[in-house]
Structure 1
Amino acid sequence: MNILIAAREMALEADALRLLRDGLTARAAVRALTDADLPAQALRLLVRLLPRGYVVPWLCQCAAGSELDETERDGLRLAEAWMRDRAEANRRAALAHAAERHYVGAGALIAASAGWSEGFLLDADGNEVAPVAAHLMAVVAAGALLTLAMADDDFAGRCRALVAAGMPLLAPEDSP
């Protein structure tokens, strides 16, 4: 995946974009942002650069160790149910949870990540509208992780910890 396109899809800030260039490996790009003390930007890019199939399981793993209220846990449980059984009914249940909560909070964003990991966007009546854009799941997954990080007294430190946890999931260094 082209690093600059991925960075723009994740709406990285100008100071982050200036550090990136074509030809960087995924790990080198994320490391450049982390080294420049831009851990939240690094986390957003990392989520976009992960293999698509890794995002929701990793997101659920990160959230499982976090303090979540019952409503937030409901979103996590729906995403986990979808991972166990990728039935359309489970995907739609996750999307319904996210929509009912107006996509606010970690649980709603986790559920939306599962719902948008494949399939179609749905209108208010549950009708399929269009295929989900590839980057949309990464945007909401990054939002969920940033929401989890904001609950920590050390936001930047939590972002760095999440980046460190996700780095092994990226392609090896010799893979552009």
Structure 2
Amino acid sequence: MDTRFLARFGRTPADALARLEAELDAFEAQARRLEAQGRWTQAPASGGWSPAQIAEHVLKVNVGCSKAVHLLRSGRDLPPLPRVPGSYQDGRRQSPPAMLPGDGQPWASLEAAWQQARTRLHAAVQAEGPWPDDRCIFHPFLEDLNALQWLQMAAYHTAHHRGQLPAD
């Protein structure tokens, strides 16, 4: 799979983290506006997830990305991990079951976990050690990603789903 598009989200760990921070800040600001407007749990008429469900999904993915970055940078032996390709429905990527959101929670219920995921991503990036290109973990749609690519993926994924939030 061609992952060169991920470089748009930062060519270095510091740049990718800065991009991710900007995307998370923008997502959070939009989440607060939508909740204040009473639109937080409203799913689109065409179906799909509510903003609350999108936020929960992004949170779950970012936790997974932080774990991948940490593990890849740790130097520890990689455990045998499944290589399960992602599925598509009507040409759209489908979330792996573990990343599916629940019914939608108030932002206040997600905020502590959201901040904890940010902290975990920061810690994984700022830890001492190399950023090896040859240590990879399988992604269901992008295949083998190294630590920098997992960080870029978190920024890309957050930006993608922020674009699905209703505009003001």
TM-score range relative to shorter protein: 0.3 to 0.5
TM-score (norm 1): 0.33
| Bigger RCO (CA 8 Å, 6+ sep) | 2
